[in-house]
Amino acid sequence: MKYLSVEGVSKAFGFVPALSNISFSADRGETVCFVGENGAGKSTLLRCVAALNRPDTGKILISGENVFSSAARRTIWRQIGVLEQEAFYFYEDLTCFENLELFANLVGTDDPAQLVLRTLERVGLSQSRLQSVRDLSGGMRKRLALGRLLLQAPKLLVLDEPFAHLDDAGEDLLLEVLEEFRGAGVATVFASHRLELASRISDRVIVLEHGRIVDTAARGGVSGDGSERLIQ
């Protein structure tokens, strides 16, 4: 049994179909990337996988349990780490340190203050630990969100355009952290336009078009002109 199974998922907004009969799976330590034009359904699919949007039909299972079942909801949702494209949900008037310390206390970590300091150093924000979140650049916010994922230690990562707003150093950091998650057996599902980066860490690249899966390539099978074809 795969850790994550998406079975026949469809979703519409009013009379406009966003997803049509989407099925795929991801095992522990496996990374799956979705590509496609804007409006192809990538973000909608990721929000369904993250249990943020309920599909109209189909199932999303983690370890065989429906993510929307009331009995398993709290246990399953704690396993899912989410990084949305723009919305990071921080307390704007709190500092980087205070935001992560609050989250560390919520997830019940030991010695949260020291763990937060180590995490801020890991994501390159040690010198900005006392800076208010509202004063951070987009790239720094993305780093802080990455730090929050490290504190959470999820079993499933759902990432929407994770390379957006990052400079070269930030991209390298993200690639390193994603490889660490992979080594720890974390399943990752993400969407990206940066196929040259995404293909380096993806076991499969799945192409969405008008809410449908139209192509799939194994790791190393998408590059150069092929990658351009998939996202045009």
- The pLDDT confidence band at residue 232, using thresholds 50, 70 and 90, is very low
Q: How far apart are CA 122 and CA 22, in angstroms?
A: 36
Across 174-198, average pLDDT: 93
DSSP 161-211: STTTT--HHHHHHHHHHHHHHHHTT-EEEEE-S-HHHHHHH-SEEEEEETT
How many Å is the Cα radius of gyration of the chain?
Answer: 18
Check residue 1 and give its pLDDT: 82
More confident residue, 31 or 220: 31
Q: Is the pLDDT of residue 101 over 70?
A: yes
Q: In what order do the strands lie in the sheet with 80-83?
A: 80-83, 156-160, 187-191, 31-35, 204-209, 212-218
How far apart are alpha carbons 125 and 99 in whole angstroms?
13
Amino acid at 41: G
Q: What is the pLDDT of residue 26?
A: 98
For residue 102 the two structure tokens come to 């609050």
pLDDT at residue number 109: 81
Q: Which of the two residues, 130 and 193, has the higher pLDDT score?
A: 130
For the record, the structure tokens of 26 come out as 């991801």
Alpha-carbon gap, residue 79 to 95, rounded angstroms: 26
CA distances from 175 to 17, 19, 62, 170, 225 (A): 33, 29, 25, 9, 23
Provide the residue ranges of all domains of the chain, joining segments of one domain with +: 4-79+154-231, 91-153
Q: Which of 1-10, 11-20, 105-114 has the lowest mean pLDDT?
A: 105-114
pLDDT tens figures, 118-173 = 999 999 999 999 999 999 999 999 999 999 999 999 999 999 999 988 999 999 99
What's the sign of the alpha-carbon dihedral 200, 205, 210, 211? negative
Q: Tens digit of pLDDT for each residue in 61-83?
A: 999 999 998 777 778 888 999 99
pLDDT of residue 193 exceeding 60, the answer is yes
Res 45: pLDDT:
98
CATH class of 4-79+154-231: alpha beta
Tell me if 187 sits within 8 A of 4, measured CB to CB.
Answer: yes
Is this structure's pTM higher than 0.85? yes
